[in-house]
Amino acid sequence: MIDMTTITMTPSAASKVRELLEQENDPTLGLRVFVAGGGCSGLQYGMTLDEEQEGDTVIDQGGFKVFVDEMSLGYITGSEVDYVDSLMGAGFTVNNPNAVSSCGCGHSFRTADGGGESRSCGCGH
């Protein structure tokens, strides 16, 4: 296990994850947070309910676990996951201190070390 400060969850995000996990009723599941190529800034965040995989960093969030694969960890260490329910829609966003630019949708980003390439923003921002 790694220090919980690797990725933090706002109370609203933690509450939503607990709600989703309760619906699944599978104690082996946790929240997987990952980074993949794509998005309007070159890299994008992804989240899914998943089981722990070999090589994962496991972060105990008090009631559920967050799983992060080794490649994604370097991009999102220090990030905060939030859940926002607004007139523009509801969903998870990631506040990432490693991002030097991000798209207005909060789902796509680029890092200073060249992770990601800027493209036109396809999310309407």
Q: Where are the domains of the chain?
A: 4-111
**Other CB atoms closer than 10 Å to residue 25's CB: what's the count?**
7
Among residues 98, 97, 121, which one has the least CA distance to residue 38? Answer: 121
pLDDT per residue over 63-90, tens digit each? 899 999 998 998 888 999 999 888 877 8
Q: Say whether pLDDT at 48 is over 50.
A: yes
Residue 118 pLDDT: 40
User: What are the φ/ψ torsions at residue 106 (nearest 5 degrees)?
Assistant: 80, 10
d(CA 34, CA 119): 20
Residue 66 pLDDT: 95
Query: SS3 for 116?
Result: coil
d(CA 49, CA 46): 10
Pairing of strands 7-9, 79-86: parallel
pLDDT band at 117 (very low <50, low <70, confident <90, very high): very low
Tell me which architecture the domain covering 4-111 has in CATH: Sandwich (2.60)
Tokens of 21: 């996990």
